[in-house]
Amino acid sequence: MTTLFISDLHLDAERPEITALFGEFIQHEASKATALFILGDLFEAWVGDDDPSEAGAFVAAKLKALSDGGVPVYFIRGNRDFLLGHEYARRAGLTILSDPAVILLHGTPTLIGHGDLLCTDDVAYQQFRAQTRDPRWQAQFLAQPLAARIAFAAQARAASKARFGELQATGMSEAITDVSPETVASTFSRYGIRHMIHGHTHRPAIHEEANDCTRIVLGDWYTQGSVLRVDADGFDLAALLV
């Protein structure tokens, strides 16, 4: 049996064809899997479990049907949907895992996570991440009216795009937005594992790291439809879109 991993779908109303592709993936391939792991950024933005988006309702229905059909679905929050809470998880049949988490994958201890914690060279982002993961900040944010939260999310996305453009202009985007090799090495050592799977960087690849360690990076669903299939014979990192 095959275990599936996806991340960085960034589903929203502006790309209905990707939401439809996700639905087809759930109905056809995921329904035959041992388990499905979603490693963050399932949505382009998530401002609370009262989010009224059609994509959110569609995804919840598809995942709940998958879970009710006997395929467990596990979710790790990303930098775009870190406010996804237990109410939505209940509606969607999701089990929320910590970031990172160690799972036993076909007999092999494997570290899984969204991946942004590995990008420690991006100091400004790590500071923002620490602030927005603070339970007090989250409580204050979620107490605001829905319209105010949606406006904040739009501003945050615009600021992120502008900053990435600035980094590209200075030639720093590749280095700053990718993982830190030192942080990757220390993470392998700290958790005592030799296999790691994550997303976030949108750079799909299977990396052979030092000390016979393997790090698999999932791609996004903007143009790739990236899926990692894992079974007893090994890994297959593929794209639904070409």
Please state, in angstroms and rounded to a whole number, the distance separating the CA atoms of residues 70 and 65: 9
pLDDT tops 70 at residue 169: no
Average pLDDT value over all residues in the chain: 93
Query: What's the token pair of residue 29?
Result: 């391939």
- Separation between Cα atoms, residue 151 and residue 174, nearest integer Å: 29
> Per DSSP, what are the bridge partners of residue 232?
none
Answer yes or no: is pLDDT of 202 > 80: yes
Q: Please, which pLDDT band fits residue 168 given cuts at 50, 70 and 90?
A: low
3-239 maps to CATH 3.90.1010.10 = no
Distance from C-alpha of 118 to C-alpha of 113, rounded to nearest angstrom: 9
Residue 38 has pLDDT above 70, yes or no: yes
CA dihedral for 144, 156, 82, 36, sign (positive or negative): positive
The model's pLDDT over 46-80, given as tens digits with 9 standing for 90+, comes to: 999 998 899 999 999 999 999 999 999 999 999 99
| The residue to which tokens 């569609």 are assigned | 58
Confidence of residue 240 (pLDDT cuts 50, 70, 90): confident
Q: Full-prediction pTM beyond 0.75?
A: yes
Q: Average pLDDT of 162-171?
A: 66
